[in-house]
């Protein structure tokens, strides 16, 4: 019995308790139900697995863990001179630890400095460098953004965020951040060099795989975000996902013939708390998902998760996405269509990830 499964069971129990709270809206409770369903599916657990639960609740364990843990200062609270001096000392100690490649200890020092002085952009930016050295580039990006919120003209934060994006192979966003860093610090040779590397990587991606560079384009991401905020599109995606999760819960699939398990809400076991289906108990034996259903493996999950999708539904969603994309940004839509059409005959190249990351 793994630690992860026991922890997941404790989280499910806590979320189930929250569902009974009168402080949550119906939408909030729906979100918790989805979270519980996902956890139960991923970790192969159910509400009946009480043997996985520790003797104390997750809330009690957490309270004990943080009782001696000081809460960081509120960003609106003035920082005393004593705290400011201590924070500077911790930052300097973190810098020294970075020089001897003690990155985890350096990260701890920067974190303590931030707790004492949460308005200092340098502390976040330095911690971002430690995160990058530990290959935790997503956290590095988050800290760079915090630094920029405090000081929008902090060139080093843009430069380090560019490095983090480059290490995640998102060369478009790396280029945007290097450009901003160079705009704020025009004489910085490192920013200029890194910008050139990012542009070379983008050019190589466009040459070998035009579709991959389209997906990285920040303008595409902005349009996609706008599409996903559209209520009609949200309802369509929600319906599709409900169908998918429902079919997995019941062992069937979208578009399965009559008689195949549907996983509909009516199949929720009467003993399941908070109205959550016991997904594990509903899974059929391997290979027995119903007449016409795709081949299944252990737990009754399809061996090919895409085999059961209804093609008409997917085509309909794709067409609506394309129409919304064209309406929101027709120039960008035409540009993408021309690029894809003009490069479609190029053979795929698996070696399109440059190793020249700065």
Q: Check pLDDT > 90 for residue 111.
A: yes
Distance of CA 98 to the CA centre of its chain: 28
CA distances from 258 to 158, 161, 251 (A): 56, 53, 13
C-alpha–C-alpha distance, residues 107 and 111, integer Å: 6
Mean pLDDT, residues 54-82 taken together = 75
| Secondary structure class of 304 (helix, strand, coil) | coil
Instruction: Print burial letters for 26-53: b (CB count within 10 Å at least 16), e (below 16).
Output: eeebeebbeebbebbbebebbbebeebe
Confidence class of residue 47 from pLDDT cuts 50, 70 and 90? Answer: confident
Instruction: State yes or no: pLDDT of 229 exceeds 60.
Output: yes
Residue 1: is its pLDDT beyond 60? Answer: no
Residue 157: is its pLDDT beyond 60? yes
b/e burial code for range 161-175 (CB count within 10 A of at least 16 → b) = bbbbbbbeebbbbbb
Instruction: Map out the domains of the chain as residue ranges.
Output: 3-66, 81-208, 211-358
- What's the CA gap between 174 and 179, in Å, rounded? 9
CA distances from 28 to 32, 35, 99, 125 (A): 6, 11, 46, 34
Q: What pLDDT shows up at residue 109?
A: 96
Q: Which residues contact 348 (CB under 8 A, 6 or more apart)?
A: 208, 209
**Contacting residues for 95 by C-beta, under 8 A, at least 6 apart:** 106, 126
For position 42, what pLDDT does the model report?
Answer: 86
Spacing of C-alpha 163 from chain mean position: 19
Name the band, by pLDDT with cuts 50, 70 and 90, for residue 249. very low
User: Phi/psi at 206 (nearest 5 deg)?
Assistant: -65, -30
115 pLDDT tier (thresholds 50, 70, 90): very high
What DSSP designation does 302 have? B
Please provide residue 134's backbone torsions phi and psi, each rounded to the nearest 5 degrees: -95, 10
Instruction: Report pLDDT digits (tens) over 123-155.
Output: 999 999 999 999 999 999 999 999 999 999 999
**pLDDT value, residue 358:** 36
Q: Measured between alpha carbons, how far is 155 from 148 in angstroms, rounded to an integer?
A: 9
Place of tokens 């992860």: 4
pTM exceeding 0.75: no
Q: Which tokens is 347 given?
A: 């053979």
Angstrom distance (rounded) from CA 290 to CA 305: 15
* Mean pLDDT, residues 288-315: 48
Strand partners, 296: 302
> Which CATH class, in words, describes the domain spanning 3-66?
mainly alpha
With H, G, I as helix, E, B as strand and everything else as coil, classify residue 263: coil
- Are 165 and 177 in contact by the 8 Å Cβ rule? The answer is yes
57 by DSSP, 3-state: which?
coil
Residue 264 has pLDDT above 50, yes or no: no
Stronger pLDDT, 57 or 276, i.e. the higher one: 57
Give me the mean pLDDT over the 213-240 stretch.
61
| Predicted pLDDT of residue 123 | 96
Where does the pLDDT of residue 351 fall: very low under 50, low under 70, confident under 90, or very high at 90 and above?
very low
354 close to 204: Cβ distance less than 8 angstroms: yes
Distance CA 154, CA 148 (A): 6
End-to-end distance of the chain based on CA atoms, in angstroms? Answer: 43
Residues 163, 128: Cα–Cα separation, whole Å: 10
CB 118 within 8 A of CB 73: yes
Average pLDDT over residues 272-276: 40
Residues 330-339 pLDDT 10s: 666 666 655 5
Residue with tokens 């706008």: 226
Taking only the tens place, the pLDDT of each residue in 195-224 is 999 999 888 887 776 555 555 566 666 666
| Angle (nearest 5°) at CA 112 between 109 and 117 | 125
DSSP, collapsed to helix, strand or coil, labels residue 296 as: strand
The CATH H-level (homologous superfamily) assignment of domain 81-208 is Tetratricopeptide repeat domain (1.25.40.10)
- What is d(CA 97, CA 95) in angstroms, rounded to the nearest whole number? 5
Which of 61-65, 127-131, 282-286, 339-343 is predicted most confidently?
127-131
Q: Which residue has the tokens 């795709």?
A: 294
Q: Which helix (H) or strand (E) holds 346?
A: none
Task: Kindly state the percentage of the chain with pLDDT values over 90.
Answer: 32
pLDDT at residue number 68 = 57
Give the residue with greater pLDDT, 145 vs 230: 145
């Amino acid at each position: 019995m793994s630690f992860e499964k026991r922890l997941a069971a404790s989280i499910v129990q806590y979320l189930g308790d929250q569902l009974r709270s009168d402080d949550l809206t119906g939408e909030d409770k729906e979100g918790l139900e989805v979270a519980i369903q996902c956890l139960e599916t991923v970790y192969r657990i159910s509400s009946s697995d009480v043997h996985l639960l520790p003797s104390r609740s997750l809330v009690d364990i957490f309270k004990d863990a943080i009782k001696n843990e000081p809460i960081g200062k509120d960003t609106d609270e003035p920082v005393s001179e004593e705290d400011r001096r201590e924070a500077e000392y911790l930052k300097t100690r973190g810098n020294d630890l970075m020089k001897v490649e003690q990155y985890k200890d350096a990260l701890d020092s920067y974190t303590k400095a931030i707790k004492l002085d949460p308005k200092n952009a340098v502390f976040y930016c330095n911690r971002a460098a430690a995160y990058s050295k530990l290959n935790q580039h997503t956290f590095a990006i988050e800290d760079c953004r915090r630094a920029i919120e405090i000081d929008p003209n902090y060139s080093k934060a843009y430069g380090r965020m560019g490095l983090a994006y480059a290490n995640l192979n998102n060369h478009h966003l790396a280029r945007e951040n290097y450009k901003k860093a160079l705009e704020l610090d025009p004489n910085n040779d490192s920013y200029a060099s890194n910008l050139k590397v990012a542009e070379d990587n983008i050019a190589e991606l466009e040459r070998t795989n035009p579709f991959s560079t389209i997906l990285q384009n920040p303008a595409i991401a902005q349009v996609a975000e706008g599409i996903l905020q559209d209520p009609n599109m949200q309802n369509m995606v929600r319906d599709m996902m409900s169908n998918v999760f429902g079919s997995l819960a019941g062992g069937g699939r979208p578009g399965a013939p009559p008689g195949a398990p549907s996983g509909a809400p009516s199949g929720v076991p009467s003993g399941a708390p908070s109205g959550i289906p016991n997904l594990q108990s509903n899974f059929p034996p391997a290979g027995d998902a119903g007449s016409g259903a795709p081949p299944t493996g252990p737990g009754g999950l399809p061996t090919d998760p895409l085999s059961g999708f209804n093609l008409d539904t997917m085509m309909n969603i794709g067409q609506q996405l394309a129409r919304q994309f064209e309406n929101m940004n027709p120039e960008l839509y035409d540009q993408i269509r021309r690029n894809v059409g003009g490069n479609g005959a190029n053979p795929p190249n698996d070696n399109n990830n440059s190793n020249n990351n700065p």
